[in-house]
């Protein structure tokens, strides 16, 4: 695997028929399809599994768009998980779990869009935010409840690693996804999911305490420590001065970040989130509570800002999928985020100061 920070590399391009199923099977056998693990009996593909990389890695397009060297930890902003799931040959078990028709389930899955996934729908069955509110203004109705896939780089040193609430750090989410989302065979325990008022589906199906199995039958738990160690070792990519951000403007923005704009009050350098309990109520950040209310303690997390330039500049993703900030992508650009906080906290930033602050955000993680 190549370094996450050396993403300018190119490679010789070759032609192949990617529409031929035989080509797909051959690539899966070579472990060349990102995030897809094939189980073979001889040359026959007998089953397929998914790994973390299917959502939390991408490629550098060095051979062709969507084909290249792995970039582990970079969220896949083009992957439309919902559309893929909606095409499954038998959705009836999932529809039964959620208590809806297959047609309704397909409508929900197709609403997610690229780069999003709704992990909590299997806990609470809430498919849409009825009223999205930003700075006291309704900015959308019936917005899909799916959230953007977070990056899995730069995770070391701070608390909580999901968009909302005290779900837990990387270790918790690894076990949650492995057992409740990817349906691995293993143990998972979280008594908070027994709260039928907040998590009716999880409570009804015993998701808060999966069956106690023999350690020899547990196929997930033994892999979690090594996975955690690897994830914490993935650094945030380094932006290139003069290419990924304007260096002179970023220097001015650095002073604004810890001065007039007050960003460092919560996004504390160099963690870019709060050391300690990095969680805030919806009212504190000026947005609706829909996604926060799906978390155990009804709060949002102060995000780590490292590597924001990847999304803002649309690196290795379709142009239509670039940007999109906050858990639901409600802000199209970093300037929109800055404008939001300028309004929320009455910062009085000038147009130039806003642009300087954006350039500084694109420069993170700064080495100064």
Bridge partners of residue 138, in order along the sequence: 133
Query: CA distances (Å), 183 to each of 56, 84, 119, in order?
Result: 18, 17, 12
pLDDT computed for residue 128 by the predictor: 98
Task: Write the pLDDT tens digit of every residue in 111-131.
Answer: 999 999 999 999 999 999 999
Concatenate the DSSP letters of all residues of 279-292 into one string: EE-HHHHTB-STTG
CA 286, CA 182: separation in Å to the nearest integer? 34
Query: CA distances (Å), 204 to each of 193, 194, 220, 262, 297, in order?
Result: 10, 8, 23, 45, 20
Could you tell me if 187 and 213 are in contact, meaning their C-beta atoms sit under 8 angstroms apart?
Answer: yes
pLDDT computed for residue 137 by the predictor: 97
Residues 106-123 as b/e (b if ≥16 CB within 10 A, e otherwise) read bebbebbbbbbbbbbbbb
CA 9, CA 11: separation in Å to the nearest integer? 7
Give the three-state DSSP class for 31.
coil
CA 9, CA 126: separation in Å to the nearest integer? 43
pLDDT computed for residue 5 by the predictor: 46
Closest to 204 measured CA to CA, from 124, 288, 107: 124
Instruction: State which CATH number among 1.10.10.10, 3.40.50.720, 3.40.50.300, 1.10.760.10 fits the domain covering 247-362.
Output: 1.10.760.10
Task: Establish how many alpha carbons lie within 13 A of residue 207's alpha carbon, considering only the half-sphere containing its beta carbon.
Answer: 26
pLDDT computed for residue 3 by the predictor: 38
Q: The dihedral of CA 268, 270, 275, 281: what is its sign?
A: positive
Ranges of the chain with pLDDT below 70: 1-16, 367-368
pLDDT computed for residue 14 by the predictor: 52
Task: Write the pLDDT tens digit of every residue in 164-184.
Answer: 999 999 999 999 999 999 999
CA 346, CA 261: separation in Å to the nearest integer? 10
CA 131, CA 271: separation in Å to the nearest integer? 32
Dihedrals phi, psi of 234, to nearest 5 degrees: -85, 115
Dihedrals phi, psi of 110, to nearest 5 degrees: -70, -15
Angle between helices 351-362 and 334-344 (to 10 degrees): 120
- What are the structural domain ranges in the chain? 1-72, 247-362
pLDDT computed for residue 18 by the predictor: 78
Could you tell me if 182 and 196 are in contact, meaning their C-beta atoms sit under 8 angstroms apart?
Answer: no
């Amino acid at each position: 695997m190549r370094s996450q920070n050396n993403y300018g590399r190119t490679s010789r391009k070759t032609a192949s028929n990617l529409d031929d199923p035989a080509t797909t099977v051959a690539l899966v056998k070579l472990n060349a399809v990102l995030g897809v693990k094939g189980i073979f009996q001889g040359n026959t593909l007998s089953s397929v599994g998914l790994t973390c990389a299917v959502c939390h890695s991408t490629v550098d397009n060095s051979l062709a768009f969507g084909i290249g060297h792995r970039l582990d930890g970079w969220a896949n902003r083009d992957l439309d998980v919902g559309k893929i799931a909606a095409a499954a040959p038998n959705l009836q078990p999932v529809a039964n779990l959620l208590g809806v028709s297959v047609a309704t389930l397909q409508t929900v899955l197709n609403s997610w869009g690229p780069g999003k996934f709704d992990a909590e729908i299997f806990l609470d069955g809430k498919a849409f935010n009825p009223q999205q509110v930003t700075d006291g203004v309704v900015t959308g109705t019936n917005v899909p409840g799916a959230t953007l896939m977070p990056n899995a780089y730069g995770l070391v040193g701070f608390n909580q690693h999901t968009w909302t609430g005290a779900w837990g750090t990387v270790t918790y989410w690894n076990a949650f996804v492995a057992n409740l989302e990817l349906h691995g065979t293993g143990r998972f325990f979280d008594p908070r999911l027994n709260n039928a008022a907040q998590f009716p589906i999880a409570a009804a199906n015993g998701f808060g305490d999966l069956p106690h199995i023999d350690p020899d039958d547990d196929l997930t738990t033994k892999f979690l420590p090594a996975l955690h160690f690897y994830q914490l070792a993935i650094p945030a990519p380094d932006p290139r001065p003069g290419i990924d951000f304007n260096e002179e403007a970023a220097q001015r923005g650095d002073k604004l970040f810890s001065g007039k704009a007050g960003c460092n009050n919560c996004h504390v350098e160099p963690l870019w989130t709060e050391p300690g309990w990095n969680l805030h109520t919806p009212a504190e950040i000026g947005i609706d509570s829909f996604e926060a209310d799906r978390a155990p303690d009804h709060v949002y997390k102060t995000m780590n800002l490292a590597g924001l330039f990847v999304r803002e500049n649309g690196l290795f993703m379709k142009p239509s999928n670039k940007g999109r900030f906050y858990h639901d992508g409600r802000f199209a650009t970093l300037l929109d985020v800055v404008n939001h906080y300028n309004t929320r906290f009455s910062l009085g930033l000038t147009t130039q100061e806003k642009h300087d602050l954006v350039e500084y955000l694109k420069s993170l993680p700064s080495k100064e």
